[in-house]
């Protein structure tokens, strides 16, 4: 939505340059710094004093309200303008303009923030740079577009010669494989659907995996978690450690981080927020809500996986299977599982109460104030692997669109093994709760949730 709106403004059809101001939140990570676009603010054509195919000027006073917002919220300002002729570099005119404009922004905002400049070409491709405090220009390593398709433009040639990927490089092309190699992907939940997702991403050559789960291997897990052994269950090894070791043993160059923490911890959230893509492989309502919120605050594409096996509990037909199904939701920033009626905010509150105060949850459940939350649902490895395969193929389809219809028609995919049918649906409506949160980035408390306040965790709550 942001990219298409920006492209329409920058290329109105008159072959003259146009500009806009992006207000960006941050993820100030350990390994890299991410800027996340919160809002796109066009510079009106009639506010430009000079507007030609090769030059553009406007009065900085026009954007004073944006500067004040940036100052109040510690946002980064990015000036983006068009090159209607398709020139794929910053021109000498651009250099002179940025040398004047960006220092003026820095002196106004008075924050230790690197503001920058971006160019959009008629194709929609973008490249950019920021200005250091020493006055040097540095290119942005990567600019990402998270929409129905997932696109990344990098500042360097990412071609790879890895021999193991010859077959899927031949199928999807060098560019798609190079994108996979450049991605850091979080897999949150390392059990039934998580472990086959991890296996596939590793063998596809993903650059780095961040594995998040605070649970240990148990005997009941061995029927569905790849690469686990009876000895892991006996020793109660963390799931993330076992699967991280497996990724390393495979030896195909995928780096891996093991986060043996519940997602409801600031450290886990900060680690996931540094990633390019998220796979949610959890069955808890509050966990899925948290991950959905995180993906919106940090503008990360989010694939949510779910499986369901329903058996008859009546005495007459006890054990008869009523349904075996699984689903994959693709969620762009600002879209949610709540607006898709997967669960409600009341369900989220109930799940949070069950996690933080089991006694109060049990009392409210008995009193009829809240609905029950299913736990330990039946799980079968064949169903889990089917859904995991659908989810990974969904990522590939959005990196390298190959389907007959546009990707917007596949926001939700559901498969039933009972009727042997697969359904796909478009879910265009954004979430009224999460849409205003797009691109807010790092906050205190994280995600504006008091439970994630650094003060709470500094007092020993984990």
Phi, psi of 279 (to 5 degrees): -110, 120
Is 181 within 8 Å of 158 (Cβ atoms)? yes
Question: Where are the CATH 3.40.50.720 domain residues in the chain?
Answer: 163-343+377-458
Predicted confidence at residue 375, as pLDDT, reads 44
Give the three-class secondary structure for 272. Answer: helix
Is 262 within 8 Å of 234 (Cβ atoms)? no
Is 117 within 8 Å of 17 (Cβ atoms)? no
Token duo for residue 216: 């240990």
Give the three-class secondary structure for 164. Answer: helix
Give the mean pLDDT of 130-141.
90
pLDDT of 180 over the 60 cut: yes
34-52 confidence digits (pLDDT tens): 999 999 999 999 999 999 9
| Dist. CA 377–CA 4, nearest whole Å | 42
Predicted confidence at residue 170, as pLDDT, reads 55
Predicted confidence at residue 373, as pLDDT, reads 47
For residue 279, CA distances in Å to 74, 193, 201, 392 come to 29, 10, 11, 9
Predicted confidence at residue 315, as pLDDT, reads 61
Question: What's the sign of the alpha-carbon dihedral 434, 440, 443, 446?
Answer: positive
Strand partners, 279: 187, 303
311-331 confidence digits (pLDDT tens): 766 666 655 778 889 999 999
Residue 374's pLDDT band, with cuts at 50, 70 and 90, is very low
Instruction: Please spell the DSSP secondary structure of 117-155, one letter per residue.
Output: EEEE-TTS-EEEEEE-TTS-EEE-SEEEEESSSEEEEES
Predicted confidence at residue 30, as pLDDT, reads 80
| Dist. CA 222–CA 232, nearest whole Å | 9
Predicted confidence at residue 324, as pLDDT, reads 87
Phi, psi of 11 (to 5 degrees): -130, 75
Residue 255 sits at the vertex; the CA angle it makes with 250 and 261, to the nearest 5 degrees, is: 105
Question: Where are the CATH 3.40.140.10 domain residues in the chain?
Answer: 2-140
DSSP letter (8 states) at residue 439: T
Residue 197's pLDDT band, with cuts at 50, 70 and 90, is very high
What is the average pLDDT value for the chain, to the nearest integer? 89
Ranking 192-196, 234-238, 354-358, 429-433 by mean pLDDT, the lowest is 354-358
Q: Name the percent of the chain lying above pLDDT 70.
A: 87
| Dist. CA 198–CA 188, nearest whole Å | 10
Tell which residue, 8, 2, 49, has the closest CA to residue 22.
2
Ranking 40-49, 91-100, 147-156 by mean pLDDT, the lowest is 147-156
| Dist. CA 63–CA 42, nearest whole Å | 10
The burial of 257, by beta-carbon neighbours within 10 Å (0-12 exposed, 13-18 middle, 19 or more buried), is given as middle
Predicted confidence at residue 356, as pLDDT, reads 72
Predicted confidence at residue 397, as pLDDT, reads 96
pLDDT of 206 over the 60 cut: yes
397: Cβ–Cβ under 8 A, 6 or more apart, which residues? 403, 407, 410
pLDDT of 167 over the 90 cut: no
Phi, psi of 392 (to 5 degrees): -65, -40
Residue 267's pLDDT band, with cuts at 50, 70 and 90, is very high
DSSP H or E segment with residue 222: none
Token duo for residue 159: 């071609």
Residue 370's pLDDT band, with cuts at 50, 70 and 90, is very low
Residue 175 sits at the vertex; the CA angle it makes with 172 and 176, to the nearest 5 degrees, is: 45
Predicted confidence at residue 363, as pLDDT, reads 60
The burial of 74, by beta-carbon neighbours within 10 Å (0-12 exposed, 13-18 middle, 19 or more buried), is given as middle
Cα 453 to the center of its chain, rounded Å: 22
96: Cβ–Cβ under 8 A, 6 or more apart, which residues? none
Ranking 367-376, 377-386, 415-424 by mean pLDDT, the lowest is 367-376
pLDDT of 162 over the 70 cut: no
Is 188 within 8 Å of 376 (Cβ atoms)? no
Ranking 62-66, 319-323, 396-400 by mean pLDDT, the lowest is 319-323
Give the mean pLDDT of 82-90.
96
| Dist. CA 135–CA 65, nearest whole Å | 25
Predicted confidence at residue 378, as pLDDT, reads 54
pLDDT of 430 over the 90 cut: yes
Predicted confidence at residue 166, as pLDDT, reads 61
Instruction: Please spell the DSSP secondary structure of 19-37, one letter per residue.
Output: EEEEEEEEEE-SS-EEEEE
Tell which residue, 438, 439, 410, 428, has the closest CA to residue 149.
410
Predicted confidence at residue 462, as pLDDT, reads 44
CATH 2.60.120.10 is the classification of domain 2-140: no
Give the mean pLDDT of 247-262.
96
More confident residue, 7 or 164: 7
| Dist. CA 113–CA 133, nearest whole Å | 9
Predicted confidence at residue 169, as pLDDT, reads 55
Give the mean pLDDT of 136-142.
93
Give the mean pLDDT of 412-440.
95
pLDDT of 65 over the 50 cut: yes
108-119 confidence digits (pLDDT tens): 876 778 899 999
More confident residue, 354 or 221: 221
pLDDT of 293 over the 60 cut: yes
Tell which residue, 256, 266, 270, has the closest CA to residue 185.
256
Give the mean pLDDT of 80-107.
94
Token duo for residue 239: 């799931």
Where b means 16+ CB within 10 Å and e means fewer, 4-14 reads eebbebbbeee
Task: Please give the class, per CATH, of domain 163-343+377-458.
Answer: alpha beta
Residue 165's pLDDT band, with cuts at 50, 70 and 90, is low
């Amino acid at each position: 939505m942001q990219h298409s709106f920006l492209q329409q403004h920058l290329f109105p059809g008159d072959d003259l340059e146009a500009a806009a101001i992006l207000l960006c939140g941050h993820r100030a990570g350990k390994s890299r710094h991410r800027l996340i676009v919160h809002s796109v603010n066009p510079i009106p054509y009639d506010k430009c004093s000079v507007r030609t195919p090769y030059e553009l000027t406007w009065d900085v006073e026009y954007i004073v309200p944006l500067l004040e917002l940036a100052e109040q919220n510690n946002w980064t300002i990015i000036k983006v303008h068009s090159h209607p002729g398709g020139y794929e570099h910053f021109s000498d005119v651009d250099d002179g303009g940025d040398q004047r404009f960006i220092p003026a922004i820095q002196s106004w905002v008075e924050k230790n923030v690197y503001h920058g400049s971006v160019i959009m070409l008629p194709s929609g491709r973008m490249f950019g740079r920021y200005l250091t405090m020493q006055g040097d220009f540095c290119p942005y390593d990567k600019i990402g577009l998270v929409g129905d398709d997932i696109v990344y433009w990098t500042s360097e040639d990412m071609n790879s010669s890895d021999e193991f990927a010859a077959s899927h490089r031949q199928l999807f092309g060098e560019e798609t494989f190079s994108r996979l190699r450049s991605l850091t992907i979080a897999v949150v939940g390392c059990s039934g659907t998580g472990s086959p997702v991890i296996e596939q991403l590793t063998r596809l050559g993903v650059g780095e995996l961040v594995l998040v789960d605070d649970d240990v291997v148990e005997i009941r897990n061995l029927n569905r978690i790849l690469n686990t052994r009876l000895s892991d269950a006996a020793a109660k090894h963390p799931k993330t450690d076992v699967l991280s070791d497996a990724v390393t043993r495979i030896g195909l160059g995928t780096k891996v981080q093991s986060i043996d923490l519940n997602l409801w911890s600031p450290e886990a959230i900060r680690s996931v927020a540094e990633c390019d893509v998220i796979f949610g492989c959890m069955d808890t309502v509050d966990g899925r809500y948290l991950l959905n919120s995180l993906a919106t605050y940090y503008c990360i594409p989010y694939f949510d996986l779910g499986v369901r096996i329903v058996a008859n509990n009546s005495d007459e037909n006890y054990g008869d299977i009523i349904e075996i199904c699984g689903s994959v939701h693709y969620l762009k920033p600002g879209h949610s599982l709540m607006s898709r009626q997967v669960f409600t905010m009341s369900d989220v509150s109930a799940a949070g109460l069950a996690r933080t105060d089991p006694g109060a949850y049990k009392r409210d459940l008995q009193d009829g104030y809240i609905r029950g939350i299913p736990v330990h649902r039946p799980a079968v490895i064949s169903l889990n692997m089917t859904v995991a395969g659908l989810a990974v193929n969904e990522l590939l389809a959005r990196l390298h669109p190959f389907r007959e219809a546009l990707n917007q028609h596949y926001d939700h995919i559901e498969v039933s093994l009972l009727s042997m049918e697969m359904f796909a649906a478009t879910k265009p409506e954004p979430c009224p709760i999460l849409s205003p949160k797009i691109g807010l980035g790092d906050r205190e408390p994280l995600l504006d949730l008091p439970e994630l306040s650094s003060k709470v965790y500094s007092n020993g709550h984990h």
